[in-house]
Structure 1
């Protein structure tokens, strides 16, 4: 029978008449994924199935279990859970009962089908949550970590995770990726405590993009939390005056509907978290959006169901038609640019997005991820004659994601591969995670900022508080980059409306009243990276300019970088290193080019030379060591330094450490990555990251250090004692060989320093000592070779020829080693080497 609607005075006040579906009591509903049917269950033993668009009587399935407390459906069947502890499956094709999926000893409180339709999760007054396979009811997974009964269940859109809302006020999130469920997070402080029969909701509602979920809080707000870092994101606040009883995201994630004890149904816009419509309905217990239409249905505790056509008011109806929208993050990770990611250039266009600009929220996930990921068909190209028009398309005739960037260009067919470039990044910084991020991490200290919506708060902390005092300040400029050294702190912020991008420097100490300074870039120019040395401030920009300032703000030099777009910069004393994108290589990636110059002397040490990276890999960080040698850390986990960089066209990237070969990882049981911080005291200083993290987070992470280890061979895996004994001498020789190569490298760097600068006596003495250490290492290697036998004599003699000492003392020591091990022939050869070397020295003198 038809039901009339009564329009109230305000446009949002549309009063529906409820459809009597069940006897008085809790009533629940579920739409099938295709939207053709709406299933309702309640206190009586009848289940009703409404056909969408049909205003007549629903189809009844009688003789069901009574007091049903939950329902969920697929296109082919639906499941219900009843207070008698049974979970029933019904066919939507035959409209009849099929089988019992599960029986519990206590009342069922909620049921949920995984989005792939393969599993059914069941919460009851028992402590254990059971997940039964639909096709084989003997296959059951058990979730046992919770200490109290669970009231609500919620699968994420990928079916890989499930969230349990427990009556003790905790949310338990399990991973279902493996055969055995794994508790990955226990969240306290999000939901309120409640009883299993309360009409108040604590249900977790996953956002359709799967990256976040929302839940009602004890303060009657609705809090969004990120799954990647478990940080609170935006919240829907100041809406309900009573406890929330139900909530549901619109299918595209653009809106959120919620119902409360205040007899209100609120419609929120996700992007702004504002209420766009309010409706007066009491005792609402469940909400369900139609998958495609502007239609929301809901049930109440009086056994009624409401089917609300045009639920979203006309002035906001365009929200229904939008593509998939992102969850309301404070700082959306997908809109943040990773510190080492390569980005494609659509159709070769070099008007690339700039890291310095804080982007607005995209209109759709398709704008962020690319339309292909979200299932758009705009880029469908058919290569029906095999002529290669669809080069680069996948087996479905669509372009793989990542080949084109968002925007208008992504709506046009693009043929062939697309070149990919390095995005700009700030060394030592992290992306936003929740409402905070590190602006700078180094051996001096760290700078971090917290987003307070209207402003940020910046904190600068030092490891040595006797030398510098910590400080913090309210940041209305929204600084997004920072550098820290012993002299001061450098900040930069993106442009905002009519305010251009700004540079701000604050010295730690000053003998005048005010020494900090601030300068603005030309309008339209954004900062891509900044660096700070004892002499200069360096700024690279989106206009491909490199801007050099003195420490007190005097513009010193401005020039345009040859390689573009710019990537980053680093500086040490008078030297500045800049990175930029160069020509496209055979793998479709741009080659990273670097330039090093002495600003004060106006000398170019290396000009547009190539950064040595394997195909497809990227630079994670770039910095100078404490000795002033350039270093990079790449995405393979390798630390490299630049040798002979002061001599034009002679520079070579040499590995100092491959973190994948660390002995701590040799067993294969430990998985971790490393966030680079600095190179100092001939050690790699970093932050160890576990659990798949890519960046450090709060509280303040501890610094770790690793000795340099030239990657010559893999670290042997732990073995038995007998095997260790057999490999002992071989391992010793491998270690000595690594020491020899490393010491030779460090000596070469010291030699370059002495030859290129006004060296001190201490530096020259250090060089002489380093060369002696190299010879000592060679003598140790010689001893190992002599122990191995006479057949290793030629290799041993070669080591002798590598000795650097010209006085003959080291050759004499080598002869004694050969004599000790009875290597007579080797001893004679060593004496011959000594005579030849002595003769050569005499000829040099002549």
Structure 2
């Protein structure tokens, strides 16, 4: 190799032998994976000085690389595509095999599907969790050189050696050829170093590609027309392109080793550097100001401080629009529900309002355009922008909205899952489950019950394309989206009873769409995009229509006469809307809790919400915490209590189980869920079994098995706090409802459990003679005189006579009171 002085702040890795080198970061940014022409893969830990992990294989030269947070995928010229575990660095499965060399692979944003192309012309789509599920695509006449999924995972772009880009819809199990795009890329052999890959902008509305005139074109997804050009930065063939994770910057490399970093909004060159060898791959770190550049010399250059300080703050902004598009508006990213992995990465980089304003520096004047004559576009005598009249979320005579917009909570339907392939679960509960299958011209809906002696399963053809459903022991509620000339529709079907079944339908006003629905034993609730809450009786009588104060509405759930509605409240300092909730008693027309805040951490979202079988509001968070709303029947007294943190389950302590949980319900003091393994984020078919976990509050750091045997105090303290919360929930139920005898008996049982736990704690503390004060404090928590009498015996057992006398005095006082 020729001697070459690398740019400043670069970590140079002699990673592989001479030839094309491939690099990728895992979506969470923890690891950098590299592969080259020798038969091994290196895994670098981001910012670590340790040597990388090296994984060998016995195949020919590597030809492509892709990664998720759980696995990396490698293909080679032997025609083999394999999956390796990020955790163990070992091969865990053969994904697929071709008779000829594999030229490229791409993994969908959700990690469920891998696309691979080979010299034998075919493209294979393979399910990464079940490789028996695969699809072959054959609409193109010549081999494919590059593959890339759009950020939603619904489109696959295939760059063919005939000079045409083939766009395939892969939203169902029968991929369709959406369009052919000739003339955008040159016709090149599969081993040509020039890239013809489609590089999707993170917002999904456009993609970038290198042109034969050495410029970079931005092509709109709407009409496949060129919207913008990154021109004049290269005088050699374009060989690599990469967008920053928020889309604010683009990096490009050429065959002579030059790398150019552009500002996306105005297509201006910010940085230009040269590296040794032609550039083969460029990737941005998901969160840091770092770019990794791989060359045809087998070198991996980790460029620290890739952007100058005056531009680094722009890298920390939320998702920026594609070049040539405005922020907000008809956002395809919002309409098509950008992949969860992308959304999670954006949350980690979310800036506050102050960060946005800080980003409006002298060198970035284009972020403010004085298009309404307010005067804030002009510079003052100090050369700074005049921000007078700039309004973010505040009323003024003139408003201007820049690229910033608050981060809101997207609508969700409790108990439902996203589409995977051609099917999705509309609802999962302890009563049964509902799923729908896309048949292209219509859907088919199936409702199944666990207790098939009491309920009868049913199945029907669905031309209205119901997208939401709720099921309980009385009936099933469906809602459809407006379309095909029809308004949104609510459909309620009562379960068969003595051979009689009642059902009804109602149409919503034109242009109104249902965001969430709820069904209780008394009422039906529909929340719409107009901010309306529509309430009906079970037999279709309209009860009430009103506007929710905090909009847009996020979700709703109900129990008996109560409904809980979530909405987007005021924007916090982090730039994110607060999630608020309101609880109403419909029968009494009474607001119980009014626009209070759901206690969410900044990085959390709600995965599900429901009332427990005892009637207590619950939310399950993306962080794995189950929250219960305590004292919710008393206005102004409600608070969210973590009654289970699944991260501290015994089965997960010490990393023994790598799994997550899909929340279904809370019943009889147990969390009912579906265990998701292998990186799954949602339940899939066939329907998995339900699991139950006891509540376990995060009172202290959980001990390992050996510590738990030697120190039972941790479990006793957790038991006391947990049972105290459950007692308060039970007492509220008995006090505010017509409680059954079993519910009243349950309160008495909880008192006994709490006193028993306190006696056990007291016995442990009595072993220490210096803990008299703590022992008296423990006794003070006991509620029944007979428990204090037993406490006297505990103290006497350990010869704590002075303590026993004090406890006896407390017992006498309690009996007198």
TM-score with structure 1 setting the length: 0.63
Q: How far apart, in 2, do the equivalents of 1:531 and 1:356 lie?
A: 27
Alignment of structure 1 residues 147-546 onto 2, 5 Å: 153-156=63-66, 161-164=72-75, 171-174=81-84, 181-183=89-91, 185-188=93-96, 194=99, 203-206=103-106, 214-215=115-116, 222-224=123-125, 236=137, 245-246=143-144, 248=146, 256=158, 258=160, 268-270=166-168, 273-274=177-178, 276=180, 286=190, 291=195, 319=224, 321=226, 359=336, 383-384=361-362, 418-511=405-498, 515-546=502-533
- Closer, same or farther: CA 752–236 of 1 in aligned 2, 3 Å: same
Verify the 8 A CA contact 1:343 1:422 in the aligned structure 2: no
RMSD of the alignment, in Å? 5.3
Q: How far apart, in 2, do the equivalents of 1:674 and 1:293 lie?
A: 37
Verify the 8 A CA contact 2:318 2:346 in the aligned structure 1: no
- Closer, same or farther: CA 575–235 of 1 in aligned 2, 3 Å: farther
The answer for the alignment partner of 1:767 in structure 2 is 747
Once the 2 structures are TM-superposed, how far is the Cα of residue 819 of structure 1 from its aligned partner?
1.9
Q: How far apart, in 2, do the equivalents of 1:163 and 1:757 lie?
A: 61
Report SS of the residue matched to 1:273.
strand
Q: How far apart, in 1, do the equivalents of 2:809 and 2:67 lie?
A: 78
Q: How far apart, in 2, do the equivalents of 1:814 and 1:270 lie?
A: 74
Once the 2 structures are TM-superposed, how far is the Cα of residue 596 of structure 1 from its aligned partner?
0.9
Once the 2 structures are TM-superposed, how far is the Cα of residue 752 of structure 1 from its aligned partner?
1.3
The answer for the alignment partner of 1:611 in structure 2 is 598
Tell me the alpha carbon deviations over residues 440-481 of structure 1, each in whole angstroms, 9 at most, x when there is no partner. 122122222233333333232322333333333333222222
Q: How far apart, in 2, do the equivalents of 1:743 and 1:230 lie?
A: 46
Q: How far apart, in 1, do the equivalents of 2:758 and 2:506 lie?
A: 56
Alignment of structure 1 residues 724-739 onto 2, 5 Å: 728=710, 731-739=711-719
- Closer, same or farther: CA 836–343 of 1 in aligned 2, 3 Å: farther
Q: How far apart, in 2, do the equivalents of 1:118 and 1:681 lie?
A: 47
The answer for the alignment partner of 1:836 in structure 2 is 813
- Closer, same or farther: CA 289–278 of 1 in aligned 2, 3 Å: farther
Tell me the alpha carbon deviations over residues 191-223 of structure 1, each in whole angstroms, 9 at most, x when there is no partner. 66x3x5xxxx76545489998754469998644
Once the 2 structures are TM-superposed, how far is the Cα of residue 791 of structure 1 from its aligned partner?
2.0
The answer for the alignment partner of 1:740 in structure 2 is 720
Once the 2 structures are TM-superposed, how far is the Cα of residue 542 of structure 1 from its aligned partner?
0.6
The answer for the alignment partner of 1:26 in structure 2 is none
Tell me the alpha carbon deviations over residues 617-676 of structure 1, each in whole angstroms, 9 at most, x when there is no partner. 332221100000111112332212112211211212222112222222221343332221
Q: How far apart, in 2, do the equivalents of 1:693 and 1:173 lie?
A: 16
The answer for the alignment partner of 1:663 in structure 2 is 650
Once the 2 structures are TM-superposed, how far is the Cα of residue 509 of structure 1 from its aligned partner?
1.2
- Closer, same or farther: CA 779–114 of 1 in aligned 2, 3 Å: closer
Verify the 8 A CA contact 1:479 1:491 in the aligned structure 2: yes
The answer for the alignment partner of 1:757 in structure 2 is 737
5+ long unaligned stretches in structure 1: 1-75, 78-100, 104-110, 124-128, 295-306, 325-333, 335-341, 374-378, 391-404, 406-411, 841-846
Is 2:546 the counterpart of 1:559? yes
Q: How far apart, in 2, do the equivalents of 1:704 and 1:601 lie?
A: 37
The answer for the alignment partner of 2:46 in structure 1 is none
Verify the 8 A CA contact 1:152 1:203 in the aligned structure 2: no
How many equivalent residue pairs? Answer: 635
Is 2:527 the counterpart of 1:629? no
The answer for the alignment partner of 2:22 in structure 1 is 114
Q: How far apart, in 2, do the equivalents of 1:505 and 1:706 lie?
A: 33
- Closer, same or farther: CA 452–224 of 1 in aligned 2, 3 Å: farther
Report SS of the residue matched to 1:666.
helix
Verify the 8 A CA contact 2:104 2:146 in the aligned structure 1: no
- Closer, same or farther: CA 831–353 of 1 in aligned 2, 3 Å: farther
- Closer, same or farther: CA 527–828 of 1 in aligned 2, 3 Å: same
Q: How far apart, in 1, do the equivalents of 2:426 and 2:330 lie?
A: 20
The answer for the alignment partner of 2:589 in structure 1 is 602
Verify the 8 A CA contact 2:61 2:77 in the aligned structure 1: yes
Q: Alignment partner for residue 768 of structure 2, among 789, 802, 814?
A: 789
The answer for the alignment partner of 1:62 in structure 2 is none
Q: How far apart, in 2, do the equivalents of 1:343 and 1:573 lie?
A: 41
Tell me the alpha carbon deviations over residues 368-388 of structure 1, each in whole angstroms, 9 at most, x when there is no partner. 999x99xxxxx9977238999
- Closer, same or farther: CA 708–345 of 1 in aligned 2, 3 Å: farther
Verify the 8 A CA contact 2:493 2:503 in the aligned structure 1: yes
The answer for the alignment partner of 1:817 in structure 2 is 794
Which shifted more, 499-508 or 563-572? Answer: 499-508
TM-score with structure 2 setting the length: 0.65
The answer for the alignment partner of 1:3 in structure 2 is none
Once the 2 structures are TM-superposed, how far is the Cα of residue 185 of structure 1 from its aligned partner?
4.5
Is 2:737 the counterpart of 1:827? no
Verify the 8 A CA contact 1:355 1:528 in the aligned structure 2: no
The answer for the alignment partner of 2:8 in structure 1 is none
Once the 2 structures are TM-superposed, how far is the Cα of residue 577 of structure 1 from its aligned partner?
0.6
Once the 2 structures are TM-superposed, how far is the Cα of residue 606 of structure 1 from its aligned partner?
1.2
Alignment of structure 1 residues 570-609 onto 2, 5 Å: 570-609=557-596
Once the 2 structures are TM-superposed, how far is the Cα of residue 754 of structure 1 from its aligned partner?
1.7
Q: How far apart, in 2, do the equivalents of 1:630 and 1:509 lie?
A: 29
- Closer, same or farther: CA 780–170 of 1 in aligned 2, 3 Å: same
Asked which structure has the greater CA Rg, the reply is: 1
Q: How far apart, in 1, do the equivalents of 2:627 and 2:616 lie?
A: 10
Report SS of the residue matched to 2:713.
helix
Verify the 8 A CA contact 1:666 1:717 in the aligned structure 2: yes
Report SS of the residue matched to 1:622.
strand
Q: How far apart, in 2, do the equivalents of 1:118 and 1:835 lie?
A: 72
- Closer, same or farther: CA 231–622 of 1 in aligned 2, 3 Å: farther
Q: How far apart, in 1, do the equivalents of 2:575 and 2:213 lie?
A: 52
Q: How far apart, in 2, do the equivalents of 1:663 and 1:251 lie?
A: 39
- Closer, same or farther: CA 142–611 of 1 in aligned 2, 3 Å: closer
Once the 2 structures are TM-superposed, how far is the Cα of residue 155 of structure 1 from its aligned partner?
3.2
Once the 2 structures are TM-superposed, how far is the Cα of residue 615 of structure 1 from its aligned partner?
3.6
Report SS of the residue matched to 2:698.
coil
Report SS of the residue matched to 2:770.
helix
Q: Alignment partner for residue 799 of structure 1, among 773, 778, 782?
A: 778
Q: How far apart, in 1, do the equivalents of 2:708 and 2:222 lie?
A: 73
Report SS of the residue matched to 2:743.
helix
- Closer, same or farther: CA 382–351 of 1 in aligned 2, 3 Å: closer
Q: Alignment partner for residue 537 of structure 2, among 541, 550, 554?
A: 550
Once the 2 structures are TM-superposed, how far is the Cα of residue 438 of structure 1 from its aligned partner?
1.9
Verify the 8 A CA contact 1:483 1:491 in the aligned structure 2: yes
Once the 2 structures are TM-superposed, how far is the Cα of residue 742 of structure 1 from its aligned partner?
2.0
Verify the 8 A CA contact 1:246 1:287 in the aligned structure 2: no
